[in-house]
Amino acid sequence: MKNYQKIIEEQKRDPKFYLPIINLFERYGRPLSIKEVAKFMDISYSAAKSRLYKLNKWGITKGTKRGYYCLVSLKEEHKKIPKEKLIFLNGCVRITSKSNNVGITIYNSKFGETAKGGYCRIEKMEDKLVIRKSNKFFGSKIHFLISKSVGISIPRKILTEKIISNLSYKVTPINIGIYLDEWGLKIKDIFSTESSEEGELAEELDKFGGISKKKKFDDLKADILFTKKNVTIPIEITNTNPLSNGKFRNSRKSGVKSALIFERLYFFIRWNLIYKSPTILILNKEWEKIEWLKKEQEFMKKFNCHIIFTDFQVKWAKQVSYEINCLTDLSLTNKTTRLVLEPSLI
């Protein structure tokens, strides 16, 4: 309080008109409106407004959103960066109205269901944005969309010049980060939007390297992108059972299931030709009995595409993540030896 009093006295003002307002902010520990200050101090609205203006001018208080004020120390405390894990989600930015307002959309249903109706602050991190959990005093409203994604209005000044120059009513893809613990989420939640298997594997892969989802508008079939030492590997998980249809088993090109497998193999060949890195397809172990797939498996090795079979039972994600990590390490040394899981992990 002595510091506040000194600042006020240096302005040649009487502290008794301002120190009680500072006490109010410290007592309530939150932003207050002009109307609230006037009520608590039993003074007129104009008197409260004038005193808050002076405190703002002297750097003691700061205006927040929606006409509220707070102590500068409270505002700085609110901006502290958490130590929890930062993970990036897919999103986009675009002009949202005729008045040239700008908004972002975050494409993740788990985050959408958790954050809907809340408030957030937007921080810039190089060419990416980070969404911080906030409240109505400091943050922007999070709007839940029909697609289970969320929309947020943002100021243009937080965007890079490159993004601003390309702004239009069409979407511009961007990466948007969140601190998982801050939003009460886990990696498993973020990656389980399509299937629980994706979340289980992502949780285990995170122990070995970086994980992310493919960009929404990328022409790529992949549930998880695993990155280690600058090598990025697309991973696709398909837990369908080929033996559920008796006619399908011995027919190489018939059935929707085989078409889906061929589609993924095509994308992985394309990825390998462009990026020269491995790809991984994870299938139900029943596929291992299909004759035509055995031949395709040998052929795909030429393109560094590895097919891993699993039963999707207890500890399957731990076993598969270990093999993926080993395959990644081998690709860094240009080795192609087929791996076998350590007995301790089975």
What are the structural domain ranges in the chain? 2-78, 86-185, 188-345
Residue 280 pLDDT level (bands cut at 50, 70, 90): very high
CB 176 within 8 A of CB 89: yes
Q: Is the pLDDT of residue 74 over 90?
A: no
Euclidean distance between the first and final Cα of the chain, in Å?
Answer: 63
Q: What is the mean pLDDT of residues 331-344?
A: 48
Third-level CATH fold of 2-78: Arc Repressor Mutant, subunit A (1.10.10)
> What residue type is 224 in one-letter code?
I
Domains 2-78 and 188-345 in one fold: no
CA distance 211 to 29: 38
Which pLDDT score is estimated for 165? 84
Top-confidence residue, 237 or 221: 237
Q: At what angle do helices 19-28 and 2-10 cross, to 10 degrees?
A: 150
pLDDT tens digits along 215-234: 765 667 788 999 988 888 99
Q: Other CB atoms closer than 10 Å to residue 121's CB: what's the count?
A: 17
CA distance 334 to 342: 21
Pairing of strands 210-212, 61-63: unpaired
Q: Is the pLDDT of residue 273 over 50?
A: yes
CB 209 within 8 A of CB 309: no
When the pLDDT of each residue in the chain is averaged and rounded to a whole number, the result is 84
Query: Please, is 237 exposed, middle or buried when counting C-beta atoms within 10 Å of its C-beta (0-12, 13-18, 19+)?
Result: buried
Third-level CATH fold of 86-185: Elongation Factor Tu (Ef-tu); domain 3 (2.40.30)
Residues written for the chain: 346
Q: What is the mean pLDDT of residues 93-102?
A: 83
Which pLDDT score is estimated for 312? 92
Q: What is the mean pLDDT of residues 230-249?
A: 74
Which pLDDT score is estimated for 54? 92
Which pLDDT score is estimated for 164? 85
Third-level CATH fold of 188-345: Trna Endonuclease; Chain: A, domain 1 (3.40.1350)
pLDDT tens digits along 13-70: 999 999 999 999 988 888 999 999 999 999 999 999 999 999 999 989 988 888 899 9
Which pLDDT score is estimated for 264? 85
CA–centroid distance for 192 within its chain: 13
Apex 64 CA angle, 84 and 18, nearest 5: 115
CB 278 within 8 A of CB 272: yes
Which pLDDT score is estimated for 341? 38
Which pLDDT score is estimated for 229? 85
Residue 45 host element (H or E): helix 45-57
Q: Is the pLDDT of residue 160 over 50?
A: yes
CA distance 231 to 218: 18
Q: Is the pTM of this model over 0.85?
A: no
Q: What is the mean pLDDT of residues 245-259?
A: 56
CA distance 300 to 19: 74
Q: Is the pLDDT of residue 317 over 90?
A: yes
From residue 261, how far is each of 3, 218, 266, 275, 306 by CA, in Å?
70, 19, 9, 21, 13
Taking the CA atoms of 16, 59, 141 and 115 in sequence, report the sign of the dihedral they define: negative
